[in-house]
Amino acid sequence: MKPRRFATGFSFVLFILAVAVLSVYAQEDVTEVNDSVFNERMRPAAVFRHDQHNEAAEIEDCAACHHVYEDGQRVEGESSEDMECSECHAKGEGYPMEVVNVYHSRCKGCHMEQKAGPVMCGECHVK
């Protein structure tokens, strides 16, 4: 009887460990849209799988999202990949809502234009 209880307990522990390990690896590529401007949040950070998104959307040009503008004109061949959006878009009285609006207009705007991707709050800001 004791060996059976031990085997059952051991199997249960292995199952829990397997679930825990698989959960970690399943979320390995899950990242958030994050910017240091967001100290306090009204909603959870938007979940964003960068590489998976760009592959599905067939986006090869990083500047499609990570753009650089000078004097109101987009600078071709330049990218802002190593910068937070707030470094350019956090100016003025509306801060940090200005940055929120930038994310929403870029992401949601593209999704609506392409007729693909989430557009409702809870689809990106998953609890």
The string of pLDDT tens digits covering residues 42-81 is: 889 999 899 999 999 999 999 999 999 999 899 999 999 8
Q: What is the DSSP letter of 63?
A: G
| 30: pLDDT strictly greater than 90 | no
- CATH number of the domain that 72 lies in? 3.90.10.10
Same domain, 48 and 90: yes
pTM of the entire structure? 0.66
The token pair that represents 37 in the structure block:
């401007």
- pLDDT for the residue 16: 67
Same domain, 7 and 58: no
Least confident piece of the model among 12-16, 69-73, 78-82, 117-121: 12-16
Judged by DSSP in three states, 58 sits in coil
Question: What is the β-pairing status of strands 47-48 and 31-32?
Answer: antiparallel
- pLDDT for the residue 26: 44
- Residue 25 — pLDDT band, cuts 50, 70, 90? very low
Same domain, 15 and 52: no
Instruction: Report the number of distinct structural domains present in the chain.
Output: 2
| 6: pLDDT strictly greater than 80 | no
Q: Which residue from 65, 91, 90, 95 is spatially nearest to 80, judged by alpha carbons?
A: 65
CA–CA gap between residue 24 and residue 11 (Å, rounded): 20
Residue owning tokens 């240091």: 36
Same domain, 120 and 77: yes
- Residue 23 — pLDDT band, cuts 50, 70, 90? very low
Q: Which residue from 98, 89, 93 is spatially nearest to 69, judged by alpha carbons?
A: 89
Residue owning tokens 């910068």: 83
Same domain, 22 and 45: no
Same domain, 24 and 37: no
Q: Which residue from 58, 69, 53 is spatially nearest to 102, judged by alpha carbons?
A: 69
Same domain, 52 and 110: yes
Q: Which domain holds residue 90?
A: 33-124
CA–CA gap between residue 89 and residue 41 (Å, rounded): 18
- Residue 8 — pLDDT band, cuts 50, 70, 90? confident
Query: In sequence order, which residues have a C-beta less than 8 Å from that of residue 119 and are 6 or more positions away?
Result: 108, 111, 112
Same domain, 94 and 80: yes
How many CA atoms are closer than 13 Å to the CA of 50, on its beta-carbon side?
12
